[in-house]
Structure 1
């Protein structure tokens, strides 16, 4: 029974695309305090040694998290979020959670005709 369910699920869920550059962008409005909260979380993860920051450029450190979001044709809701690995799982998971929350009831337009993948990214930047 479980095998049949998994087979059915695999048949109806579009495969995770390998080329994210051709996906349309998913635009989401996020509350104004999100960037500050997210940046603090990332800085804390780096300070705790769970992530390694890239070298600063012009005195600023930036971390970009790209994700793809599967939007269901039935209701226009985000049903799956896949972050691109940046060697910092806690930040990847946190960013995916932020996108999930921002997407809930907030995806503009009618549901797509089929389950469709979209791209969303966020860049967190801070100075010294």
Structure 2
């Protein structure tokens, strides 16, 4: 527990302006498949997330996630931007963690750096 707290204390803060974060390396970015989108569609259909039904029945939901990546390519932390749907926010952050763990991209330099990813869910309702 103490080690976790020490690691948290030394992690760089997420910048207030996420547009300044470099994009998550392509090999680490989640590729959203229909089965992954199904969870989000089900959350919307169940009314657990506020998303107005579009006139043409086509939904697009975007979730920004900041990811702290170490020099060794290991993910240290992920933080979703609030979209008024906690289940989808956490689901998206988990997808970023999962893909980054499966595809580590070592980089030069010794500091942990924040990156950004935008997860786009696209389906017909």
Worse overlay, 84-93 or 59-68: 59-68
Q: Kindly tell me: are residues 48 and 55 of structure 1, through their superposed partners in 2, closer, same or farther at Cα, counting changes over 3 Å?
A: closer
Deviation of 1:57 after TM superposition, in Å, equals: 6.6
Matched, 1:79 2:76: yes
Worse overlay, 48-57 or 78-87: 48-57
Matched, 1:23 2:21: yes
1:56 is aligned, of 54, 57, 68, to: 54
- Determine the structure 2 residue equivalent to 1:125: 122
RMSD, aligned α-carbons? 2.5
Structure 2 unaligned spans of 5+ = none
Structure 1 unaligned spans of 5+ = none
**1:35-55 Cα distance to aligned partner (Å, 9 max, x none):** 212211011111211112245
* TM-score, normalising length: structure 2: 0.83
**1:62-82 Cα distance to aligned partner (Å, 9 max, x none):** 100100100113x22111000
Q: Kindly tell me: are residues 86 and 112 of structure 1, through their superposed partners in 2, closer, same or farther at Cα, counting changes over 3 Å?
A: farther
Larger Rg: 1
Deviation of 1:59 after TM superposition, in Å, equals: 4.2
1:1-128 to 2 correspondences below 5 Å: 6=5, 8-9=6-7, 11-26=9-24, 27=26, 28=28, 30=30, 34-56=32-54, 59-73=57-71, 75-110=72-107, 112-128=109-125
